[in-house]
Amino acid sequence: MNQDKIKQLLSLITCVMVIMGVAINRDHKVLGHDLATPQAAQSKTIQADTMRTEADGTIVINTTNLAKDISGYGGQVPLEIYVKDGRVVKVKALKNSETPDFFEEASRLLTRWNSKTPDEALAMKVNGISGATFSSRGIIGNMQRGLQYAQKKASTPSFADRIDKSPQSLIGLIVVLAGAILPLFWKDKRYRMVQMILNIGILGLWCGTFISYSLIVNYMSAGIDPWTSLIPIVMLITAFVYPLFGKKNHYCHYICPCGALQDLAGKTRKRKWKMSSKTVKQLSNIRQLLWSVLMVLMLAGVWFQWMDYEIFTAFIFRSASIVVLLFAGIVTALSVFVPRPYCRFICPTGTLFKIAQGGQ
């Protein structure tokens, strides 16, 4: 192994360790393993009794321990299911690490099972909320596990049952695999145009799936369920594994919906603003400084919330904040005059990719 490869591998390991430090600071977990003190873990277990009965006879099922293998976007999505007189009367979401705006959208699901018997609720086919797919999946999975427990049917589902077979996920998987594989063997401008449109329309707007700092930290904290996260896993491979084999920036150029949107906007105007090499270097240095400041803040346990405002969340426009939507509009307009302005001069996630690849 030559020195460049060793440097690249060490850079990747360093980035992984830094992200691990952020996950520990924020959630006290790594890959789903709770690092809390024994006393805190015991207290948590006591608070998470699987079933209790209230004074009026209402049975409350807590899914914290029943659904440890079921995750939303940021980790477990535990629920309390209230059953009275043989029917679900209320479902309450417990504390979780989901992005607040997205989870608020997904929380509309919580009333879907009201007034149903556990058998009727288990037989229901409940679709996730568009724009909050991962959080929706976590809520639905926890409901099923809790209701199975109520009916003494709790069991670990097979891997075939855990795979998301919805048209949205299957088509998204085809698109991301096309972006991951075809450019390795086929260079064609017309194909790339089609791929960009698919990345924006399918991966971005329809699936709402992309790599962001929030996704990376959440996976480091909660772990990855490969059967429900096939699209993000392919994306992560292209971003972090491909560069080890000489394919740097593959994710950014061929898969990222945000990069595709900027490229597509840039094609509407051939003449671009001229920027001196000095200006480009200064802006690149500011990007590096921004990334360093954000990482120091998170490692110090301060201001993790910035991750909720990365521009990528604008694709999930039903849940995205007004600030993110406005920023996305400005970046898209600027892309007409400056090639990929967000990718080149701001993107903290892209900076992480570059550093992991051994770049500066």
Q: Do 103 and 240 fall into the same domain?
A: no
User: Which of 247, 94, 104 has the alpha carbon at shortest distance from 180?
Assistant: 247
The residue segments making up the domain with residue 68 are: 49-156
d(CA 263, CA 253): 9
Q: What size, in residues, is the chain?
A: 360
Residue 202 lies in a domain: yes
Answer yes or no: is pLDDT of 87 > 70.
yes
Answer yes or no: is pLDDT of 359 > 90.
no
Q: Please list the residues that pair with 201 across neighbouring strands.
A: none
Beta-carbon neighbour count of residue 237 at 10 Å? Answer: 14
**Backbone φ, ψ for residue 62 (5° rounding):** -100, 125
Q: Which of 156, 191, 216 is the last residue of a domain?
A: 156
d(CA 155, CA 162): 12
Q: Do 79 and 185 fall into the same domain?
A: no
Query: pLDDT tens digits, residue range 297-335?
Result: 999 988 898 998 899 999 988 778 899 999 999 999 999
Query: pLDDT tens digits, residue range 29-64?
Result: 898 888 865 555 555 544 567 888 999 999 999 998
Query: pLDDT tens digits, residue range 199-217?
Result: 999 999 999 899 999 999 9
pTM as predicted: 0.83
d(CA 323, CA 332): 14
Q: Which of 156, 191, 219 is the last residue of a domain?
A: 156
Domain holding 125: CATH number? 3.90.1010.10
User: Which of 113, 107, 229 has the alpha carbon at shortest distance from 162?
Assistant: 229
Six token digits for residue 59: 């049975």
d(CA 103, CA 357): 33
Answer yes or no: is pLDDT of 155 > 50.
yes
Residues 208 and 180: beta-carbon distance below 8 Å: no
User: Which residues are within 8 A (CB) of 58 and not within 5 positions of it... i.e. 6 or more apart?
Assistant: 82, 83, 84, 89
d(CA 348, CA 19): 13
The one-character DSSP state at 315 is: G
Q: Do 189 and 315 fall into the same domain?
A: yes
Coil, helix or strand at residue 253: helix
CA-based torsion, 272, 276, 282, 285: positive or negative:
positive
Residue 350 lies in a domain: yes
Q: How far apart are the first and last CA of the chain?
A: 21
Hunting for tokens 């967000």 — which residue is that? 342
Six token digits for residue 7: 């440097």
Residue 22 lies in a domain: no
Q: Do 317 and 235 fall into the same domain?
A: yes
Q: Please list the residues that pair with 53 across neighbouring strands.
A: 59
User: Which of 146, 71, 126 has the alpha carbon at shortest distance from 103?
Assistant: 71
Q: Which of 102, 126, 156 is the last residue of a domain?
A: 156
Q: How many structural domains comprise the chain?
A: 2
Q: Do 71 and 130 fall into the same domain?
A: yes
Q: Do 276 and 254 fall into the same domain?
A: yes
Mean pLDDT throughout 337-355?
96
Instruction: Write down the pLDDT at residue 171.
Output: 95
Residue 343 lies in a domain: yes
